[in-house]
Structure 1
Amino acid sequence: MTSIHAQPVSFQIPPKMRAAQCTDYGTNVEQILSVPQEGTVDTPRLGIDKPPAAFKNEILIKVQAVALAPGDARVMSGKTREFQGPPQFPYTPGGDVCGIVVAVPEETKKGGQCKFSVGDRVAARFMNKPLGMLGEYALCNTDVCDVVPQNVSSEDAAALVSSAVVAVLIADRIREGDRVLIYGAGGGVGSHLCQMARLQGASYVAGVGRDSERLMEAPLYCDYAVDYTKTDPFSVKEWCDKPFDVIIDLAGGAWPALLQHRSSGHPSIVKSAKSKGRYLTITPDNPVFEIHKMRDFFKIFLFPSLGRAISSRIGLSRASMPKYSYVLALPETSEALTRTLALASENKLIACIDEQGPFPFTSDGVRRAFELQASYHTKGKVVITVSSDK
C-alpha cells in the first residue's frame, strides 16, 4: 500500500462527514437533494478505497468552497445519465472546488513525491464527471489542481477554477485590435471572458445578456451591451455598420440567428470568413440537451459542428458567414489554471460570483444554489461556502 504523509498531531480526519446527498435523478431539488445535519457519509480515504495505481495522483482536501456549473445540474437531471451519471445513489454532487490539503500520497504515477503538501490551499476542477466535491472532504486529481495565491479567497478560487480557465483559453484566440461580441456574456464563462478579451487587446467588447447594465459595469466593462429579451442583437445598426471580427457564442443559438438574418438579406454584424471573421462557440444551439446514446452525441455536437466548420471555410458561405469553430476543450493539465490564478492574484482578472451567493452549506442553501444554476440565468458563478476553517 502506498504510504501517506502523516497528519499534523492536532488534526484528525473523521470517519464520517457531512456531504450533500442526491437520492435520485430529477429537477425537484426539494425532493432529491439535502445536506444531513450530522456526519453520515463515509469520509474519502487515500490508499484504502482504491488500488495504488488509481490514487497516486489524488489528494484529500478539507473543502472550503464549491462552484457549480451547467454540468452539475445536467448530471442531477439524468439527461446524460449513461455518460455522466453517478455509479450509485445517493451521490455527492459538485465538481469545482477549493480546500486545504489534509493527506497526500508520497508516491506518484511518475515517481517521486507529490507536488502538494499537507496544509496547502488548492483549487481543482473535476475530471471525467462533476461528482464528489460538495462535502466536508473530497478527493482531488492533482493533474488539474494548483495552489491558490494567498490574496485569492477560497470562494473566488472555486469560481475561477473552470469557467475562468475556459475564458482564458478562449481569449487566446482573440487578436489585438479585434472587435468582439460575447453572446451570453453574463454567465460564469462570459463574466470572465469580458475581462480577458480586454486584457488580450480587443479594441471593442460588446456583450449580450439579460442584465445589460451589469455587463457595462466593473469588472466586466463592456463598451456596449444588449438585453436580448428587449433588443435583437443581430439588428443593432451600429454593429451592422461596423461588423465584429469575432462572435463568441456561450449561450447557444447565435449561428441559426446569423443564418436567418443572412437569408432575409440583412447586413451581418460579423465579418465573413473571407474577411477573416470568426465564430467561436463552446455549446450546441440548445444548451439544455439530452444524451443517452452515442448517436445523440453525434447529432448534437459532431455533425452540426463539422458541417458548419466545412461550409464556412469553402464555397459560397465563406463570403457571407464567419469561420465556424467549436472550441470547448479543457486540458488535463494545470497549466491554464496556473495562468488563471496568477491573473487573479495580480488583480487582472476578478472572480465573478452571482449576487445571491455565496450560498451556505445547508439543505436550503444547496437547493437554492442548484435551482439558480439550473435556471441558466446566473450572473457569474454559483458558489457554496462549505467551511471557513483556515
Structure 2
Amino acid sequence: MQAAIITEYGGPEVLRIETQEDPQPAANEVLLRVKAAGINRPDVFQRKGNYPAPQGVSNDIPGLEVSGIIKSLGKDVQGLSVGNEVFALLAGGGYATEVCVAAELCIPKPKSISFEEAACFPETLFTVWHNLFQRGNLKEGDKVLIHGGSGGIGSMAIQLAKLFGATVYTTVGSAEKAEFAKQLGADNVINYQEEDFEEVLKDKKINLILDSIGGTYFNKHIQLLEPDGRLIHINAVQGAKVELNLLKMMQKRIWISGSTLRSRDLNFKINLTLEIKNKILPFIESRKLVPAVTQVFPFEEVSAAHLFFDSPEQYGKIALKMYS
C-alpha cells in the first residue's frame, strides 16, 4: 500500500508518501481499499508532534476518517461483505490506500453522497454528536453558541443543531467565512475580528456553548449562559488553564463538561456508531446533512493539502482523494 508518513515532526513538507506492506485485518476487522480520507486539526497536531497516537496505533501515519470499499474480512466479521462501500472512524492510519478498521465502526455509504463527502463525516460527526447532543443535551428550541462556525467541527455542528430545532449563533474570522456559516444555516454570525461576541450575545439567553477556544473565552461563557446552561469543551487552543468563580457557577447551576474522542475505547465508539446509524444516517441518505467539503486534493499532494489547511483561507472540510 501507499501511505503518507510523518518523516519527522514539523510543517507540511515532512509528509512523504512511501510504500509499506499491506495491512492484514484482525478477526473483528475489515480491510478497506481507501477511496478518500478527511483532514482534521488533530492530524496537524500529530504532524507537529503534539498529539501522539493511542497505544497500538501507528504514530507515523495520520488520518482519523476514511471512506472506501471493503477488500477483505476478518474471520469473525458478520453483516458485511467484500465490495461494500462504507465510511469509518479511525484512531489513526487513514492517510493510506489501505487500512484496517473494526467492522462495527463501519457505516454504509449511501449512493447519494460521494466518497469524498463520506470521508469527511466521521471525525466531525462523532465529535459533534457526542458533545453537543449526548453531553450537551441539545433540545429543540435551545439557543446554541458554536465557535469556529466555518471549520470542520463548526460547520457540522451548525447543520446538526439546526436539523434538531436549535437557534444557532456562531463566530468566524472574516466576512467570507461569515457568509459561508450563514449558508449552512446559522441564525446569527459574529465576526470576532470586528465585534466582541459577549457584547453581541449578552441578551440572547444562551443555553448551550460548544467551545474549542478556552482561555479568555471561558468566563465570557459563564456570563452568557442562562441558568442550567451547558458549557462543553472540545479543545482549548487559547489556553487550558482558566479561573472559575464557583459561586457564579452554583448560582446559575451551570454544567461544565468536555471530552476527547480519539482515545476512547472501542466499545464506546461502537455504541456511538450505532446511535449515529439510527438517528443521523437517514439525514445523510436524503442529503439533509452533508459535510461542507470545500477542497479535494489528490493523495500525492498531501503536503499541499496540509499547507492549505494551515492557511487563514481554509474553511469547511478538506479531503484527500486516493483513487478515481
TM (norm. structure 1) is: 0.72
Closer/same/farther in 2, CA of residues 324 and 81 from structure 1, 3 Å limit: closer
Q: 1:335 aligns with which of 274, 282, 287?
A: 274
Q: Say yes or no: does 1:212 pair with 2:174.
A: no
What SS does the corresponding residue of 1:165 show, helix, strand or coil?
A: helix
CA RMSD in angstroms comes to: 2.7
Q: What is the 5 A alignment of 1:113-132?
A: 113-127=77-91, 130=92, 132=93
**Residue 10 of structure 1: aligned partner:** none
Q: 2:51 aligns with which of 57, 66, 80?
A: 80
**Residue 325 of structure 1: aligned partner:** 257
Q: 2:15 aligns with which of 11, 26, 33?
A: 33
CA deviations over 1:114-137 (Å, ceiling 9, x no partner) = 32110001111113xx2x222222
What SS does the corresponding residue of 2:129 show, helix, strand or coil?
A: helix
Deviation of 1:347 (Å):
2.0
Q: Say yes or no: does 1:358 pair with 2:296.
A: yes
CA deviations over 1:256-285 (Å, ceiling 9, x no partner) = 3517xx8xxxxx4332xxx22221221235
Deviation of 1:83 (Å):
5.4
Closer/same/farther in 2, CA of residues 370 and 324 from structure 1, 3 Å limit: same
Closer/same/farther in 2, CA of residues 74 and 368 from structure 1, 3 Å limit: same
Deviation of 1:62 (Å):
0.9
C-alpha distance in structure 2 between counterparts of 1:376 and 1:253, whole Å: 21
Tell me, yes or no, if the aligned pair for 1:344 and 1:351 is still in contact at 8 Å. no
Structure 2 counterpart of 1:19, which letter?
A: A
Q: What is the 5 A alignment of 1:1-390?
A: 17-27=1-11, 29-30=12-13, 32-35=14-17, 40-46=19-25, 55-81=26-52, 91-105=60-74, 107-108=75-76, 113-127=77-91, 130=92, 132-172=93-133, 173-202=137-166, 204-210=167-173, 211-217=177-183, 220-236=184-200, 239-253=201-215, 255-258=217-220, 268-271=223-226, 275-284=227-236, 286=238, 300=240, 315-319=247-251, 322-329=254-261, 331-333=268-270, 334-338=273-277, 339-353=279-293, 355=294, 357-362=295-300, 365-374=301-310, 378-388=314-324
* Percent of aligned pairs sharing the same letter: 26
Tell me, yes or no, if the aligned pair for 2:228 and 2:253 is still in contact at 8 Å. no
Tell me, yes or no, if the aligned pair for 1:184 and 1:190 is still in contact at 8 Å. yes
Deviation of 1:24 (Å):
1.4
Deviation of 1:194 (Å):
0.6
Gaps of 5+ in 2: none
The count of aligned residue pairs is 310
C-alpha distance in structure 2 between counterparts of 1:125 and 1:138, whole Å: 11
Structure 2 counterpart of 1:283, which letter?
A: N
- Over 6 Å off, 4+ runs: none
Structure 2 counterpart of 1:347, which letter?
A: R
C-alpha distance in structure 2 between counterparts of 1:258 and 1:142, whole Å: 43
CA deviations over 1:268-321 (Å, ceiling 9, x no partner) = 4332xxx2222122123537xxxxxxxxxxxx5xxx69x95xx65xx3433368
C-alpha distance in structure 2 between counterparts of 1:198 and 1:320, whole Å: 26
CA deviations over 1:88-136 (Å, ceiling 9, x no partner) = 7xx333221100011112x32xxxx432110001111113xx2x22222
C-alpha distance in structure 1 between counterparts of 2:197 and 2:289, whole Å: 27
What SS does the corresponding residue of 1:358 show, helix, strand or coil?
A: strand
C-alpha distance in structure 1 between counterparts of 2:81 and 2:299, whole Å: 26
C-alpha distance in structure 2 between counterparts of 1:142 and 1:230, whole Å: 47
C-alpha distance in structure 1 between counterparts of 2:124 and 2:216, whole Å: 20
Tell me, yes or no, if the aligned pair for 1:65 and 1:158 is still in contact at 8 Å. yes
C-alpha distance in structure 1 between counterparts of 2:259 and 2:17, whole Å: 36
Higher strand fraction: Structure 1 or Structure 2? 2
Deviation of 1:201 (Å):
1.6
Gaps of 5+ in 1: 1-16, 47-54, 263-267, 288-299
Tell me, yes or no, if the aligned pair for 1:164 and 1:340 is still in contact at 8 Å. no
Tell me, yes or no, if the aligned pair for 1:183 and 1:254 is still in contact at 8 Å. no
